[in-house]
């Protein structure tokens, strides 16, 4: 500020119109004026600062005045149209009503930490609206009941301060077979404890984590976590295919919400901005807390492919009536049925064997993979079905073979229709290919 006349030491200076701050009224406001530290009186509601000049201010001499206030949590335009300054002297031309403050436009006034500066942000109390600059999610696997590494990238156009207590919520992770637990979050160091709380049945599958480290504006928060996929295929994967078991899972949209302990909330898709707060003396609460839909460049997260039994052949050792007959079964699947990263054990049913003679419901499995993959045992039902489960070493595309003994029926007959299906990891009833 400067004047065309001398202003004496202790002249009272009034600056008005700096409204919208969250700094409460005080008679002990620290002010830097003309190079000296002074104490001023601050009124929050009217945005008025009053202080006394620490020394003579000669005519046409510039005096810089600065003081610190706290920005509101809500984004808002600068109230610069109401800024004015005046001195407690008899000259009417120096009264606040006659002297509007001119807002400077030099970007250098903004702190170096402000990224993507604009001239409008140089005006006091211009508060940038928080927005998501990056919001993407992706997955590593479509395997039913398999481990799925979910990758997330988030970034805001405003900084995140650890002291604010920022909490981030991801929702839309429904149908995962992961139980309610603490998940390890690998990636950005600001994530508190490198962990988040996963609630599979809340908010369509919800992951909540906190940020306890400062994150500069526009810095990507990249992290990943592992969940277990559902067993039921996704509707997008089911299109044009026959699927058995439960109804398919519709594609899900994941959303992100972030809330700081200060009351700042980050707008989502609705972008319901509020210019200013209803009560400047209270903690700002903006009507902005809607979820931001996460984008994906590939499959929607929790998309699971349709499982199929690809190789499904069966052969016998003899056609003689009433003879002992060794049946050889070869199976492979389009998804892993037994592997370290798969957490469900499918039940495979081979049906159509009702004319076979077996003296026990417990059947011993032999052959090249009878023990290693199939555990050496199967169950034969009264309806003529053999139920087997792979216990290990059956990744997708791997052909696994087992043999079991039956006795042929006494009377001659054509080969029956033998079919195979699976539950837990569902596969439709499909005809087996006879190798004899």
Residue 212 belongs to some domain of the structure: yes
Q: What mean pLDDT is predicted for residues 363-389?
A: 96
Predicted confidence at residue 308, as pLDDT, reads 93
- Burial 110-122, CB ≥16 within 10 A → b, else e: eeeebeeeeeebb
Confidence category of residue 270, pLDDT binned at 50, 70, 90: low
- Strand residues in 5-146 grouped as ranges (E): 12-16, 26-33, 36-43, 48-52, 65-67, 84-87, 132-139
The pLDDT score that the predictor gives to residue 245 is 67
Are 331 and 189 found together in one domain?
no
Q: What is the reported pLDDT for 287?
A: 45
> Could you tell me if 283 and 320 lie in one domain?
no
If asked whether residues 196 and 114 sit together in one domain, one would say: no
Residues 277 and 320 in one domain: no
Domain with residue 337: its CATH number is 2.60.40.1170
User: What local confidence, expressed as pLDDT, does residue 435 receive?
Assistant: 72
Let me know if residue 127 belongs to a domain.
Answer: no
Q: What is the percent of the chain where pLDDT is above 70?
A: 92
- Judge whether 213 lies within some domain: yes
Same domain, 139 and 272: yes
Residue 92 token pair: 């009417």
Q: Last residue of some domain: 101, 122, 143? A: 122
- Tokens coding 131: 């927005």
**pLDDT tens per residue, range 396-418:** 999 999 999 999 999 999 999 99
Judge whether 7 lies within some domain: no
pLDDT higher than threshold 70 for residue 135: yes
Q: Which residues pair with 237 in a beta bridge?
A: none
Q: What is the pTM of this model?
A: 0.83
Q: Which two tokens stand for residue 377?
A: 């045992």
Please enumerate, as own/partner, the contacts of 204-207 that have beta carbons within 8 Å and a separation of 24 or more: 204/171, 204/172, 204/173, 204/174, 204/252, 205/171, 205/172, 205/173, 205/174, 205/175, 205/176, 205/252, 205/302, 206/169, 206/170, 206/171, 206/173, 207/169, 207/170, 207/171, 207/173, 207/183
- Mean pLDDT score, 285-296: 68
212 and 288, same structural domain?
yes
Q: What is the pLDDT of residues 304-323, one digit of tens each?
A: 999 999 999 999 999 999 99
Pairwise CA distance, residues 316 & 404, whole Å: 10
Q: Please determine, for residue 297, whether its predicted confidence score (pLDDT) is greater than 90.
A: no
- For residue 103, tell me if it sits in a domain: yes
- The length of the chain is 436
Average pLDDT of the residues in 4-22: 94
Which domain covers residue 366, as residue numbers?
A: 309-434
- Can you read off the two tokens belonging to residue 269? 């898709």
Phi, psi of 65, rounded to the nearest 5 degrees:
-125, 135
Do 179 and 273 sit in the same domain of this protein?
A: yes
Say if 388 falls within a structural domain.
yes
- Is 217 a member of any domain? yes
pLDDT tens for each residue of 207-241: 999 998 999 999 999 999 999 999 988 887 777 77
* pLDDT of amino acid 241: 73
- Alpha-carbon torsion, ordered 123, 126, 132, 134, to 10 deg: 10
State whether 34 and 98 are in the same domain.
yes
The pLDDT tens digits of the residues spanning 136-155 come to 999 999 999 999 999 999 99
What whole-number distance in Å separates Cα of residue 365 and Cα of residue 388? Answer: 9
In a domain, 401, yes or no: yes
Residue 203: DSSP 8-state: T
Which of 293, 324, 352 terminates a domain? The answer is 293
CB proximity list for 317: less than 8 A, separation 6 or greater: 325, 326, 327, 328
Tell me, what CATH number does 279's domain have? 2.60.40
Task: Write the pLDDT tens digit of every residue in 25-46.
Answer: 999 999 999 999 999 999 999 9
pLDDT of 272 above 80: no
Q: What is the per-residue pLDDT for 98?
A: 74
Chosen domain end from 81, 101, 122: 122
Q: Are residues 141 and 243 in the same domain?
A: yes
Regarding whether 207 and 241 lie in a shared domain, the answer is yes
Q: What count of Cα atoms within 13 Å lies in the side-chain half-sphere of residue 22?
A: 18
**Does 230 share its domain with 373?**
no
The mean pLDDT of the chain is 89
Instruction: With CA atoms as reference, report the closest residue to 151 among 252, 249, 254.
Output: 254
Report the domain count for the chain: 3
Q: Write down the pLDDT at residue 223.
A: 97
Q: Are residue 112 and residue 37 in the same domain, yes or no?
A: yes
């Amino acid at each position: 500020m400067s004047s065309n006349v001398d202003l004496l030491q202790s002249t009272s200076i009034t600056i008005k119109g700096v409204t919208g701050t969250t700094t409460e009224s005080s008679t002990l406001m620290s002010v830097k004026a003309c190079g000296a530290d002074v104490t001023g009186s601050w009124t929050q509601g009217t945005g008025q600062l009053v202080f006394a000049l620490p020394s003579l201010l000669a005519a046409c001499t510039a005096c810089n005045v600065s003081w610190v206030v706290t920005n509101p949590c809500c984004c808002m335009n600068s109230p610069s149209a109401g800024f004015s300054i005046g001195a407690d002297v008899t000259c009417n031309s120096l009264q606040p009503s006659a002297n509007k403050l001119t807002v400077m436009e030099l970007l250098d006034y903004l702190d170096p930490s402000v990224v993507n500066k604009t001239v409008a942000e140089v005006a006091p109390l211009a508060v940038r609206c928080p927005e998501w600059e990056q919001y993407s999610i992706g997955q590593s696997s479509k395997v039913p009941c398999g481990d799925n590494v979910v990758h997330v990238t988030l970034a805001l156009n405003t900084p995140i301060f650890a002291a604010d207590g920022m909490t981030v919520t991801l929702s839309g992770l429904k149908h995962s077979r992961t139980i309610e637990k603490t998940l390890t979050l690998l990636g950005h160091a600001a994530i508190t404890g490198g962990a988040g709380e996963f609630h599979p049945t809340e908010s369509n599958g919800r992951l909540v984590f906190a940020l306890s480290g400062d994150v500069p504006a526009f810095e990507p928060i990249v992290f990943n976590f592992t969940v277990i996929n559902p067993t039921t295929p996704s509707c997008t994967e089911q299109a044009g295919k026959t699927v058995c078991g439960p109804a398919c899972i519709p594609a899900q949209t994941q959303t992100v919400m972030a809330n700081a302990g200060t009351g700042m909330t980050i707008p989502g898709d609705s972008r319901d901005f509020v210019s200013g707060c209803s009560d400047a003396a209270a903690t700002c609460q903006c009507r902005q807390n809607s979820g931001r839909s996460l984008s994906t460049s590939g499959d929607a997260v929790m998309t699971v492919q349709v499982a199929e039994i690809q190789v499904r052949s069966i052969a016998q050792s003899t056609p003689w009536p009433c003879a002992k007959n060794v049946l050889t079964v070869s199976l492979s699947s389009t998804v892993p049925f037994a592997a370290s990263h798969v957490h469900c054990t499918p039940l495979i049913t081979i049906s159509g064997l009702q004319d076979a003679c077996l003296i026990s419901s417990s059947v011993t499995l032999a052959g090249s993979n009878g023990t290693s993959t199939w555990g050496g045992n199967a169950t034969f039902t009264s309806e003529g079905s053999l139920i087997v489960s792979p216990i290990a070493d059956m990744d997708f595309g791997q052909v696994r073979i087992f043999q079991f003994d039956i006795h042929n029926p006494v009377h001659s007959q054509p080969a029956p229709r033998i079919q195979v299906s699976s539950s837990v990891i569902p596969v439709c009833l499909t005809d087996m290919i006879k190798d004899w």
